[in-house]
Amino acid sequence: MNIPNKSSVDDCWNRKGVWGREMPKCDKLAEVIHCRNCSVYWKAGRAMLDRNVPVDYVRQWTNEVAVSMGEASSPSESIITFRLNKEWYSLSTRYFLEVSQVRKIHHIPHHRGRFILGVVNVSGVIRLCFSLSYLLGVHTSSENEVQNSSIYKRFVVVSIKGNAFVFPVNEIGGILHYDAKDLLPATTNTDTEKAKLIVGVLKINSRRIACLDAEQLYSSAEDHLGE
């Protein structure tokens, strides 16, 4: 980065010192003691501040700031990853309300649907518990395993369009950030129903993480509520 040339000023403090011990001694030092108390020093400082900035200097700093702002504003999505059986998925962090320990799922009398698992008490609030695994077509051995703490380690509570959903997951992976350009298309063998729920896939080391579309997830959940 180039620095603007100094204005033409009388820098007498560099020639005669600031304490008045050098010779020849400045006549004003007997009165002001130190150069910083002298009007000549003040005026020189003001002249440096009031000088015109070279065009090239302005252009260089404009480019620097533009690059910094561009880097800071690059699109980035924050997600929380979780595992269903052997498959990894994620949702945007803005939809998450809570991740809690597993609780007993109480079945709803006379209800035999596979999407609604029952009701659970999460942080003192009774909520419906849903099977995201069923919605995504992820295989589970049996419904009874849902209540086995060795199978589902956490309950996840998310809010989409103002509605809370609770679903069990095998494992919480953590928070990740990604740019849209990092997303890969879903594999071609993904069925149509499942594919519409997936925005894209992230490949982190050897792990493939399917990023879910919350809006599509909500619509699909509504379609299955009557089951």
What are the structural domain ranges in the chain?
A: 12-72, 77-224
The span from the CA of 115 to the CA of 64, in Å, is 54
The C-alpha atoms of residue 150 and residue 147 are separated, in whole angstroms, by 9
pTM of the predicted model as reported, rounded to 2 decimal places: 0.62
What secondary structure letter does DSSP report for 148?
Answer: -
- For 62-103, the pLDDT digits (tens) are 777 665 554 544 558 899 999 998 899 999 999 999 999 888
Residues with pLDDT less than 70, the chain: 1-9, 17-24, 65-75, 140-152, 188-192, 226-227
The most distant pair of C-alpha atoms in the chain lies apart, rounded to whole Å, by: 106
Query: Closest by alpha carbon to 167, among 110, 109, 220?
Result: 220
Superfamily the domain 77-224 falls into = CheA-289, Domain 4 (2.40.50.180)
- The beta strands (E) that lie in the chain are given as 77-84, 87-92, 96-101, 116-122, 125-130, 154-160, 163-169, 171-178, 198-204, 207-212
Closest CA to 169 of 191, 197, 145: 145
CB atoms under 10 Å from CB of 178, counted, come to: 18
Contact 83, 156 (CB under 8 A): no
pLDDT tens-place string over residues 204-218: 888 999 999 999 999
